[in-house]
Structures are given as structure tokens and as C-alpha cells.
A and B are shown apart, each in its own frame.
Chain A
Amino acid sequence: MAATQVEVSVGQGPGALPRRRQMSDVAIQRLFILPTMILLIVWNVFPLVYSLYLSFTKYSVIAPDPPEWVGLENYSYILQNEKLWESFATTGKYALLAVGIETVLGFGLALLLRDRFRGSGVLTTLLLIPMMLSPVVVGLFWKLLFNPSFGIVNYLIGFTNPATAPDWLAHPILALWAVVIVDVWMWTPFVMLLCLSGLSAIPDYLYEAAAIDRANSWFQFRRITLPQVAPLLLIAVLFRSIEAFKAFDLVMGLTGGGPGDATEVVSVSLYRIAFQGQLRTGRASALAYIVLIIIIAVSNLYIRYLNRIRGEE
């Protein structure tokens, strides 16, 4: 790369302007990368270290006392607190239901749309709209759709009498389903998009060979389509699972964690501990760390599994 400078002086020729000082490539690299790395370190690594420290202390942002070291107390409190276990269970249930339905629907839609027909491009784009919207606004708006007396959801599924129609968001079980439905509405397009790109990468000759061998379509699906799309489908599931575990905006917009704590997912619990009531910053930091560890662990396991599948191909 040092050759660059020599070439530059040749290019400018002997009669050119007095040679300006050229930045060396190494200087350019540093100058280009440093701002990014500094920003990321200061805004990500520092907070992580700081909240690790806070998670071992008793501290509240509104109290005047400095953080007091309490060791593992916050962690043991969280692990023994049934309500928090419940919020983990709620998150798990929500993630499992939502991601499961999204995978099936998304893959199905991708299969429907893989062969282009007139208008399929526009149709695909229209289907992608929900994914791009602001989750909190979506949650808020679905609140109107779920309204027991003038919401359209109940009318569309056949409950035309407001007196007997279910009140989705006030019902302890239906509320979670309402969140799942909205999540499915929003994120099925994402799975569909990834599956579509997986499907489009399957070479045609595989199907041609299968057709020549008179393989039926179920066999083609089992032996060609599914294994070929699997890696991308699994990536979609991984992304969605992580996102579902982080879910916050949508739940806040739709139910705010209610009724009671029926839809209180981990992020909402964390928010409530950290920023409502007593503002227990230390305890919230410990919970945040537990969430972080779970996410890292699950995605690691998953990525390993994914690599194994890819290796087997």
C-alpha cells in the first residue's frame, strides 16, 4: 500500500503543484474507524460495566445515598421472586406462540408468493408494510381495533353484540393472545421475506430432476424445499426469538403489561422496577443482566445448532 504514494507523485508529474502532504493509509484507517469504535465503546461497553457494578449494589436513582455493595442479594432476590419468574414464563409463552405462528404463516406465505404472478410484487410489498411501522403506534392502534364495544376485531370474527363480545385487553388469557396476534400481524412479513429469499436461491434444476424422476410434490417439498430453506428459516426464527424476548414497545402500547400482570413480559417488569414505584436501580440492573445472559446463551446455542445443520448439508 506504500506504493500508492509513489504512484501519486508520478501522476502529478514533475511540474505539478508543490506536493501536498498525503495521509497514509494507516492514518486514514484510524481516522475512519476510530469515531465509530469510540462511540460504541463509550455508549455500550461503559454502560454494561457500570450496570454490572450496580447489579451488586443497593441503589436507587432517586435516593441521595450512594450505591451500597450487597453482593449477590439482588440476584438471589430475583431468582426467588415468583412474580419475576412469572414474567419470564409470560415472555416465554409469548415468544413461543408468536414466533411459532409467524414461522408457519410466514413460510406458507412465502410458498404462495414464490412463483411470480401478475401483481405479486406489489402484493409482497403491501404485506411488508406492518413490519416497518412503529411498534408502539401499532400497539396503540390495535387497542382501538380490540375495543369491546366499537372495535372492529370482534365484529369481524362474528361478535356483533358488544354486551356479549369478549374484551380482549381486559381478559387475563385473551390479553396475551391479543399481544401475540398483533406481534404475528407485524412480524410474519419478516419471516416471509427471509423465506422468500431462501426459496429464490433454490436452483431450478433440483425440481427439474425431481420432476423427471416423477417425485410427487410432497416429496419435493420434504426433500428439496424444506432443507434448502431451513438455514434462512432458522435465522428468521432466531432473530424473531431474540426480538420477542426484548419486546417492550408493542406491549407498552397495547396493554402496558396489564390487565394486572397478565402480559407483563420481562422488559416491562424491568421497566417497572427501574423507573416506577421505588426505582430500585440496583435490582433492575441485576434483572437486566439476567436477561442479557439468557439472550446470549440462547442465541449461542442456537447459532451452534444452525452451524451444525449447515455443516451437514
Chain B
Amino acid sequence: MAAFEHTGPGTPVVESIRVDKVSPRARLLRYIRAAIAIVFAVIALIPVYWMATTAFKSYPDAVAIPPKIVFDPTLEGFVNLLTDRRELSVDEVRAFEANPESRCANVDFAECVARGRGQTITGPSQYVQRLTNSVIIAGGSTILSVAFGLLSAYSFSRFRIPGAGDMLFFILSTRMLPPVVVTIPIFLMYRSLGLHDTHLGLIILYTVFNLSFSVWLLKGFLDEIPREYEEAALVDGYSRLQAFRKVVLPQALTGIAATTVFCLIFAWNEYAFALLLTSDRARTAPPAIPSVLGRGVVEWNTIAAGSLGFLIPVVIITFALRKYLLRGVTFGAIRK
């Protein structure tokens, strides 16, 4: 009976059934292909791996010659990144040496790590503020660009608008502008409007920059939702807005989520505008990470910790979004 066990249409056909692909030679070729691809992936991931491990190294380990692969993990880099510290005085160092257990008694974990290096924490570092700015600005601009983008995409997708093609092309073309080209006038404009170095200024700017993207991407997703659902709702007595909210929105949720995340990544990673249009109050993390370099000894473990903390969310998102990556990176210009 076992031979007739139902494996059925439930299991997808993974292997090709084509004759030219099941021969032993074809199989071997496939293994070779897989092996080469794996080698490439390993090479591509070495830098990421190195960054991740450097973030957990102590400073001497991070700059050891030759580079260390085996090391004692420490959170020193992260503590350095997030706090301002001062050197312990000689007396304090002696006190801790005399009584090693007092070093970590009654203090939080970060202070304990800092004391291990002969330092004590004086307060949170500037980087914490930069990171907060990044969160505020990326979050704010993402919400705005998805909201505006969704409304326009809906109109372009559902109504016949005179000149829609030209408008859509105009929207797309704004994305082609190199940021450095428009920065100078925007810099001047912001200075006279008082938007320089403000959260609002960057939020609007990123919103504008993401709009082209979100309109095109969302239009692609909305075009795929059959109009019939809405028309049925309209016949049932819904107004256009109700139909939009109750019928279209729920169906567009995946598209909206994907767009949101792409906008978020862009705003999170943006560097040129942030560098030129902010100085202190609204500065985000990307221009701040290189400036860690400027101060004395280059603390590579700190930089790695900063980079890692900055990159991990993006890596997680990449995995979550892999289905939509193609659409996202070509912002809807290409459809499968």
C-alpha cells in the first residue's frame, strides 16, 4: 500500500521533470552550480560577518595584527557608542583593584563594562540623540509619504485623469535627480524658511523624495486589486471614501506594508541631505557614524557596534520583504 500513498497535488513539484535536466550529468552540474553560488554568498557575507564580530570585540582585539578570528566577546563597543565616559581617577582605580568585587556592585551593566576599561559613565552620548532623530525623521516621513502616496496612487489607479501619464512621468523623474544637485537651492530655501537643522525640514524632504517611489509602487499594487469589489461596494450604498477605506485598504495591506518598509529603509539610510541640511539638533545617525572617526583614536569596535545596530533592522526587513524586493528596488517601473 505504501507505494500508493497519496502524496498528491499537495506537494509542489520542486524538481524539473524535463528530460534534459534529470540526467546524471545535469544533476552533477546542478550541484556544481549550487556550490559556486554558495562560495559567492560566503565571500559576500564575510564583510558583514566581520563587522558583526568586530562589534563584540574589545579595542585591542579589533585592531589586533594579524586579525583575530577567535576572541572574548564583550559589549564594550556598544557601551562606548551609547555613553560618554571619563577616565577613572587613580584613587578609584586603586579602590577597584583592592576590591574587585566592588567594581560591579550596585551599578548597572554598562557602568560595569566601562569600569572594566578604567572609565566611568558620565551620561548618554550624542549618538543616542542622533539615533532618536533618525527614528523620528524616518518614521514621520515614512508615514507621510505612504499616506500621500496611497491617496495619489488610488486616484491614478481608479480614475481617468487627464494628463495622468505626464503626471506619473513627472513623479518618476523627480527620483532621477541626484541629491547633490537639488541640495544647494534647498539649503538656501531652508535657511530662509527657518527649516535648516529642524526635524520638520528633513521629514518633508524625505517625504518628497519617497513620494515618487511610493506612488509608483502603490499604484502597481492597487492596479492588481480588481475594480469589481469596489464597484460592488458602491452599488451596496458605500460612498467612494467608504469603499476606499473598507474595501480597497484591507486588500492593499501587503502592498502598503512593503512600501512602508522601503520608504523607511531609504529614510533610515539617507546621508547626503542629512549631512548638508542639519548640523546638530536634527542630525541623524548616518552622518554621525563617520564623525565618530574624527575624535582621536579610531575605535573600530565602537564604529562596528554603531554600524551593526544600524544594519540589523535592515537585514531583518530584507528577509521579511524578499518577495517584494524586485518591485521595491525598481520602484514599480518593472512588473513581473
A residues neighboring B (CB under 8 Å): 1, 4, 7-8, 10-12, 20, 22-23, 25, 28-29, 31-33, 35-37, 39-40, 43-44, 46-48, 50-51, 54, 61, 109, 112-113, 115-117, 120-121, 123-137, 140-142, 144-145, 149-152, 155-156, 160, 162, 185, 188-190, 193-194, 197, 200-201, 204, 207-208, 211, 232, 235, 239, 242, 245-246, 248-249, 252-253, 267, 270-271, 274-275, 281, 284-285, 288-289, 291-292, 295-296, 299
**Do the beta carbons of B304 and A149 come within 8 Å of each other?**
no
Among residues of A, the one whose C-beta sits closest to the C-beta of B21 is A115
Given A130-B48, A211-B19, A246-B178; A40-B170 close (CB under 8 Å):
yes
Given A47-B182, A127-B44, A135-B271; A33-B189 close (CB under 8 Å):
no
Q: Which of B306, B326, B333 has the most CB of A within 10 A?
A: B326
Query: In whole Å, how far is A310's beta carbon from the nearest beta carbon of chain B?
Result: 13
**Do the beta carbons of A160 and B287 come within 8 Å of each other?**
no
**Among B2-10, B96-104, B201-209, the stretch in contact with A:** B201-209
In the complex, which residues of chain A have a beta carbon less than 8 angstroms from the beta carbon of B18?
Answer: 204, 207-208, 211
**Among B80-88, B112-120, B248-256, B311-319, the stretch in contact with A:** B311-319
**Contact among B34, B155, B184, B239 for A33, CB-based, below 8 A:** B155
Q: A140-B289, A160-B66 are in contact. List 5 more A-B contacts (CB 8 A).
A: A11-B237, A35-B151, A51-B181, A125-B319, A162-B65
**Among B35-43, B70-78, B122-130, the stretch in contact with A:** B35-43
B residues neighboring A (CB under 8 Å): 14, 16, 18-21, 30, 33-34, 36-38, 40-41, 44-48, 50-51, 54, 62-67, 148-149, 151-152, 154-156, 159, 161, 167, 170-171, 174, 176-189, 191, 204-205, 207-208, 211-212, 215, 234-241, 265, 268-269, 271-272, 275-276, 286-287, 289-290, 293, 300, 303-304, 306-307, 310-311, 314-315, 317-319, 322, 325-326, 329-330, 333-334, 336
In the complex, which residues of chain B have a beta carbon less than 8 angstroms from the beta carbon of A162?
Answer: 65
Interface majority SS (helix, strand, loop, mixed), chain B: helix
In the complex, which residues of chain B have a beta carbon less than 8 angstroms from the beta carbon of A1?
Answer: 159
In the complex, which residues of chain A have a beta carbon less than 8 angstroms from the beta carbon of B208?
Answer: 39-40, 43-44
In the complex, which residues of chain A have a beta carbon less than 8 angstroms from the beta carbon of B14?
Answer: 116
**Do the beta carbons of B215 and A36 come within 8 Å of each other?**
yes
Tell me the bound Cα distance from A136 to B291 in angstroms: 11
Tell me the bound Cα distance from A235 to B204 in angstroms: 30
**Do the beta carbons of B30 and A197 come within 8 Å of each other?**
no
In the complex, which residues of chain B have a beta carbon less than 8 angstroms from the beta carbon of A130?
Answer: 44, 47-48
In the complex, which residues of chain A have a beta carbon less than 8 angstroms from the beta carbon of B51?
Answer: 141, 144
Q: Would you mind naming 12 contact pairs between A and B with Cβ atoms under 8 Å apart?
A: A1-B159, A11-B237, A28-B241, A35-B152, A37-B152, A43-B182, A137-B289, A193-B329, A207-B18, A211-B19, A292-B181, A296-B176
Given A125-B318, A194-B334, A271-B180; A152-B46 close (CB under 8 Å):
yes
In the complex, which residues of chain A have a beta carbon less than 8 angstroms from the beta carbon of B268?
Answer: 134
Among residues of A, the one whose C-beta sits closest to the C-beta of B191 is A61
In the complex, which residues of chain A have a beta carbon less than 8 angstroms from the beta carbon of B33?
Answer: 112, 115, 117
**Do the beta carbons of B303 and A129 come within 8 Å of each other?**
no
Query: In whole Å, how far is A161's beta carbon from the nearest beta carbon of chain B?
Result: 10
**Do the beta carbons of A39 and B204 come within 8 Å of each other?**
yes
In the complex, which residues of chain B have a beta carbon less than 8 angstroms from the beta carbon of A28?
Answer: 155, 159, 240-241
Query: In whole Å, how far is A149's beta carbon from the nearest beta carbon of chain B?
Result: 5
**Do the beta carbons of B325 and A193 come within 8 Å of each other?**
yes
Q: Which of A36, A126, A232 has the most CB of B within 10 A?
A: A36
Among residues of B, the one whose C-beta sits closest to the C-beta of A126 is B41
In the complex, which residues of chain B have a beta carbon less than 8 angstroms from the beta carbon of A137?
Answer: 269, 286, 289, 306-307, 310-311
In the complex, which residues of chain B have a beta carbon less than 8 angstroms from the beta carbon of A267?
Answer: 178, 180
